[in-house]
Chain A
Amino acid sequence: MVPHQVPSLDAQSLDAQSLAVDLPVSDTPRRRAWPRFLTSEHPFPWLAPITALILAFGVYPLLYALWLSFFKRNPITRMNVFNPTWNWGKLFADERVWGAIGHTYLYTITALLIELSLGLAIALLLDSDRKGYGLLRALMTLPLVVPPAVTGMMFLLMLDGSFGVISTGLVSLGLWPAQHPILASGSTALAGVLLADIWQWTPFMVLIMLAGLRALPKEPFEAAAIDGATTSQAFFRLTLPMLSKIIALAVLIRGVDLFRIYDYVKVMTDSGPGTATETLTSYAGTIYFKNADFPYASTISLITLLLVIVTSSVFIKLFKVRF
């Protein structure tokens, strides 16, 4: 990739002469056809459509959800009664919520760590211009295009205690006891769900890392080689720091998505066994679908939103992520 070239506009070329001759600005005042803020000079017309869409379909529903959270639902009449503290109080007392928060963070952090390191490792592995590597890189993107709901079902079948290829494979290799199917045992169910996520999203990290690696300038590495640095020294002292900005951004994007995970849990374990894989969004879903308690489900979703905002703000400040 070509390094950034800055055409020089230094003092010499910007003298009054050239400007005066070249600028076609006329002396007669122009009659404005439109008010200032509607011209293409002003950001307004550029941003208006997108702002309108987001206000209508993003902000309004959010406000509605917030408003809803101040009502208590009466299951018999199905009416909502104004009661601002009911849902919020219930939320803090509900141990399933705290469990869900714990699971969500555990899931997010574990997945991030694994996907990041695996992604980087695989990117390093595949970053070669030799024949066939292009194909390997293309194949690596395949998991990304499978709908998560389908991925969930795929892994559900493969991890099935009696008929799944992964489960029976592990059992026959003696690596896993047959009495504890992965998805049916509290301690390992989350791992099973994580497996689906890791399979699907490591390629995303691989892509990003590959792009980053390919954009690295060669000179520092050549200099290091001349100075006698080993491969791992070059990696830790040069590659990583240069990639850090990209890593931070990737972590942010992926982390936010992980926090909102829904499809895999719903399809594979439905928050089970017990509540071992219950995340915030799957609990919100349960309350929504099974108990039809919309105000409470809204409240749980809002807490999720709040946690995401807080956590990502902290992250952005800490790692100085810029965009």
Chain B
Amino acid sequence: MEETFLQKRLRDVAAVLVVGIFMFPLFWWALTSFKPTSAIFDKDGIVWFNFKPTLVNYAVTMLGKSRAELAIESGNTFGIGGASSYDSRQTIIDSLIIAIGATALTILLAVIASYALSRMRFRGRQAYLNWILSQRFMPPIAIIVPVVFMFHSMSLLDTRLGLVIVDTLINLPIAVLLMKSFYDDVPVDVDEAAMIDGATRLQIFWRVVLPMVKGGVAATAVLCFIFSWTEFLLSLFLTNSIRTLPVKITTFVTSTGSEWGFIAALGSTAVIPSFIFILLVQKQLVRGLTLGSLKE
């Protein structure tokens, strides 16, 4: 159906409006990160732009600057945290390491397992698939206590490896589901043709099929990364000195006031790495999410 000129314009306006509404909280958040505290909590009304912008929040969280130096200059922070406890650079690095590690491990395991699930028919295949997927049903709270004790005896508590393992575990169901449907997209005949040429399964997998699902791998990787980046509950309990981003932000709530400025600054920064990742694999992500269902 061809749209009339008016319909086109209306659609444009509506689209921009809708996206604008969704962007508003992010905009507000970023705005807050530049406000001094008195502008965040003004009892007489909401402050939109009528404030002196300050870089204090970013300096403290991102650059580890002593808030005292900056506070003298701008004179507009409150709270009792020492400068070191807000420095979040290490947190971002740790979160990145863990997210990348978990993504890599998940992809590794899922790519291999899903190939078999897609290509090989064996008794109990559907049951096995159901079993893997049911892992996603588990509320993380159920497994905190046993996992803590297990990790303790394996010396995995408070290690990045430990978090990588649990994040992987939680990502696997979706990763397997997605990868299987990407493999299903690739006709079995491709495999058979290669088999006729004398290739072993392993070679078929590595040389022929896997390169064909590159897009799918990218899409799965993005979802795994996002999940790991944002995971909160298990990260809280399985670590003491290593803080991932979401956990760190909750520590900005002190006994005499939440440091909203810092929360806003760190929160705004938290968005960036994931977003970059998404932009890079955007095409595959959208393609990949058909989940193969349309072919049926």
A binding-site residues for B, Cβ under 8 Å: 1, 4, 6-7, 9, 22-24, 39-43, 46-47, 49-50, 53-54, 57-58, 60-62, 64-65, 68, 122, 125-126, 128, 130, 133, 136-150, 153-155, 157-158, 162-163, 165, 168-169, 199, 202-203, 207-208, 210-212, 214-216, 225, 231, 234, 242, 245-246, 249, 253, 256, 260, 262-263, 267, 280-281, 284-285, 288, 294, 297-298, 301-302, 304-305, 308-309, 312, 322-323
Would you give the 0/1 interface string for B136-180, flagging 1 where the beta carbon is closer than 8 Å to chain A? 111111111111001000000000000001101100101011001
B46 to nearest A CB, angstroms?
A: 5
Known pairs A62-B143, A138-B279, A162-B43; A23 contacts B196 (CB<8 A): yes
Contact between chains at A304 and B116 (CB < 8 Å): no
User: Is A145's CB under 8 angstroms from B120's CB?
Assistant: no
Instruction: Say whether B28 contacts A215, CB under 8 Å.
Output: no
CB distance from B225 to the nearest CB of A (A): 9
Contact of B18 with A58 in the complex, beta carbons under 8 Å: no
Q: Chain A residues near B58 (CB, 8 Å)?
A: none
Contact of B150 among A60, A128, A285 (CB under 8 A): A60
Q: Flag if B263 contacts A49 (CB, 8 Å).
A: no
Whether, in the assembled complex, B133 has its beta carbon less than 8 Å from a beta carbon of chain A, the answer is: yes
By beta carbon, the residue of chain B nearest A1 is B287
Would A60 and B146 count as touching, CB distance under 8 A?
yes
Contacts of B46 in A (CB 8 A): 163, 165, 168-169
* Cβ–Cβ contact A231 & B1, under 8 A: yes
Q: Of A9, A168, A301, which one neighbours B189 at CB under 8 angstroms? A: A9
Q: Would you call B180 and A323 a contact (CB within 8 A)? A: yes
- Given the interface pairs A50-B109, A322-B296, the reply to whether A302 lies near B19 with Cβ below 8 Å is no
B80 at the interface (CB under 8 A from A): no
Q: Majority SS of interface residues in chain B?
A: helix
| Chain B min CB distance to A239 (Å) | 12
Could you list 10 further interchain pairs (A-B, Cβ under 8 angstroms) beyond the known A149-B249, A242-B294? A46-B116, A53-B165, A128-B15, A147-B229, A155-B25, A157-B32, A165-B28, A211-B286, A214-B286, A214-B287
Whether B93 is near chain A, meaning CB under 8 Å from some CB there, is no
Report A78 CB to chain B, min CB distance, Å: 13
Please, could you name 20 A-B residue pairs with CB atoms under 8 Å apart, sorted by A? A39-B201, A43-B117, A43-B120, A65-B146, A136-B16, A142-B23, A146-B271, A147-B245, A157-B260, A163-B46, A202-B22, A207-B289, A211-B290, A234-B1, A249-B293, A260-B137, A260-B139, A284-B142, A301-B139, A308-B137
**What residue in chain A is nearest B132 (Cβ atoms)?**
A54
Contact across chains for A147 and B11 when beta carbons are under 8 A apart = no
Q: Would you call B189 and A7 a contact (CB within 8 A)?
A: yes
Q: Size band of the B side of the interface?
A: 35 or more
- Complex-state Cα separation, A253 to B287, whole angstroms: 18
Contact B279 A154 (CB under 8 A): no
The 3 tightest CB contacts between A and B, nearest first, are A301-B142, A145-B274, A46-B116
**From residue A173, how far is it (CB to closest CB) to chain B in Å?**
13
CB–CB A57/B166 < 8 A: yes
Asked if B141 and A297 sit within 8 Å, CB to CB, the answer is yes
For B289, what are the chain A residues with a Cβ–Cβ distance below 8 Å?
207-208, 211-212
Query: Are A246 and B282 in contact, with the CB atoms below 8 A?
Result: no
B22 touches A199 (CB 8 A): yes
- A1, A280, A309: the one contacting B134 at CB < 8 Å is A309
Given A6-B187, A154-B29, answer yes or no on A253-B174 (Cβ-Cβ < 8 Å).
Answer: yes
**B42 contacts A by Cβ under 8 Å:** yes
Q: Interface digits, B101-121 against A, CB 8 Å rule (1 contact, 0 not)?
A: 000000001101101110010
B294 surroundings in chain A (CB, below 8 A): 212, 215-216, 242, 245-246
- Check if A246 sits within 8 Å of B22, measured CB to CB: no
Q: Total A-B residue pairs with C-beta atoms closer than 8 Å?
A: 264
Whether A53 touches B109, Cβ cut-off 8 Å, given contacts A61-B146, A138-B282, A145-B271, is: yes
Q: Are the C-beta atoms of A54 and B135 separated by less than 8 Å?
A: yes
Complex Cα gap A234–B1 (Å): 10
Q: Is B202 an interface residue (CB 8 A)?
A: yes
Q: A61 and B142 in contact (CB under 8 A), knowing A41-B201, A142-B26, A211-B289?
A: yes
Q: Are B109 and A145 in contact (CB under 8 A)?
A: no
Whether the Cβ atoms of B22 and A305 lie closer than 8 Å is no
Contacts of A245 in B (CB 8 A): 293-294, 296
Taken residue by residue from 39 to 53, chain B's Cβ proximity to chain A (1 for < 8 Å, 0 otherwise) reads as 011110110000000
Complex interface: chain A residues within 8 A of B282 (CB): 138, 141
B83 beta carbon closer than 8 Å to chain A: no
- Chain B residues near A246: list those with CB within 8 A: 290-291, 293-294
Q: Is A125 a contact of B136 with CB atoms below 8 Å?
A: no
Query: Is there an interface contact between A309 and B137, defined as CB atoms closer than 8 Å?
Result: yes
C-alpha gap A184/B202 in the complex (Å): 59
A61–B270 Cα distance when bound, in Å, is 31
B92 on the A face (CB < 8 A) = no
Task: For B144, give its contact among A39, A42, A288 (CB under 8 Å).
Answer: A288
Q: How far is the CB of A104 from chain B (nearest CB, A)?
A: 11
Contacts of B116 in A (CB 8 A): 43, 46-47
For the complex, is B226 an interface residue (Cβ under 8 Å from A)? yes
Q: A168 to B40, alpha carbons, bound, how many Å?
A: 13
B209 close to A (CB within 8 Å): no
Question: Please, which residues of chain B bring their CB within 8 A of the CB of A285?
Answer: 141
Task: Give the interface centre of A208, A215, A262 by most chain B CB atoms within 10 Å.
Answer: A215
By a CB distance below 8 angstroms, the chain A residues around B112 are 46, 49-50
Partner pick for A57 among B165, B250, B278, B291, CB 8 A cutoff: B165
Are A50 and B120 within 8 A (Cβ)?
Answer: no
Q: Does B288 contact A (CB under 8 A)?
A: yes
